[in-house]
Amino acid sequence: MADVTFIPQGDQVTLTRLHGKKMSERLAEARFNSIDIPELIGVCKGVLADGTVNLAEAEFIQHWLDDRSDVLDTWPADVLHRLLGRVLDDNALCDEEVRELTELLVEITGEPVSVIFY
């Protein structure tokens, strides 16, 4: 997972991933296996764009993945779908679940992002 330091509510934190080539190899394989994977990466980037991850965005990604069950055996869709199923089982996102989901989205997109926790 990404090397992340979280700062208390209201402060800004920068998330960066350190997986280098291994990550790019996994992305290349995923892109080859399905045309939906680049779209998923775009969805993840869109969710991260405003610096927050909320319940509606998490549910949107989960429904997006549910509608594309053919990619659920391909990284990163498989890992993300499992995480969303676990964190959304109570129809809420606690701070720890937001952090975990944000970390995975950063790993998937391969880009540093500034995230604000309220």
Question: What would the two tokens of residue 116 be?
Answer: 């604000």
Question: What would the two tokens of residue 91 be?
Answer: 């129809």
pTM as predicted = 0.70
**pLDDT of 19-44, one tens digit each?**
444 555 555 555 555 678 889 999 99
Provide the residue count of the chain: 118
Question: What is the percent of the chain with per-residue pLDDT over 90, rounded to a whole number?
Answer: 51
Residue type, 106: V
Q: What pLDDT does residue 118 have?
A: 52
**pLDDT of 83-115, one tens digit each?**
999 999 999 999 999 999 999 999 999 876 665
Give which of 52, 12, 14, 11 is closest to 3, Cα–Cα. Answer: 14
